[in-house]
Amino acid sequence: MTDTTALNPEDRKIVTLARSARARNGVPEGAAVRDETGRTYVAGTVALDSLKLSALQTAVAMAVASGATSLEAAAVVTEAESASPEDRAAVRDLGGPATPVLVAGTDGTVRETVTAG
């Protein structure tokens, strides 16, 4: 586990935004990504009859739809132990294989940092 205060301020910010999205929207996961210009995109899980996206997939889609061409980092707040392969693939598609993905518990404590790889 990583003490969230040990993160750099920009990574701490995306974890906080992801946690807030999860709580505010009452969804299973919250996520945030930071693009190459420092802009952040925040999202929650999408669970419609015709469309199902994880929070991280939704955040990546929002970044792409807003014109982002790369990602610096991603964060997901979840009860799951790790980021799913599909989530990591979405981050990799936009940010590349070395993009860090911070996985935090619902209390905001980062459990692991993996690459999108």
- Measured CA to CA, the distance from residue 31 to residue 26 in angstroms comes to 13
- Measured CA to CA, the distance from residue 58 to residue 90 in angstroms comes to 9
| Confidence at residue 3, expressed as pLDDT on a 0 to 100 scale | 54
pLDDT > 90 fraction of the chain, expressed in percent and rounded? 94
| Confidence at residue 17, expressed as pLDDT on a 0 to 100 scale | 98
- Is 0.85 surpassed by the pTM of this model? yes
Return the higher-pLDDT residue of 94 and 1. Answer: 94
Average pLDDT, the chain: 95
Give yes or no for a contact between 84 and 57, defined as CB atoms under 8 angstroms apart: no
| Confidence at residue 6, expressed as pLDDT on a 0 to 100 scale | 78
Q: Helix (H) and strand (E) counts for the chain?
A: 3, 7
**pLDDT tens digits, residue range 22-67?**
999 999 999 999 999 999 999 999 999 999 999 999 999 999 999 9
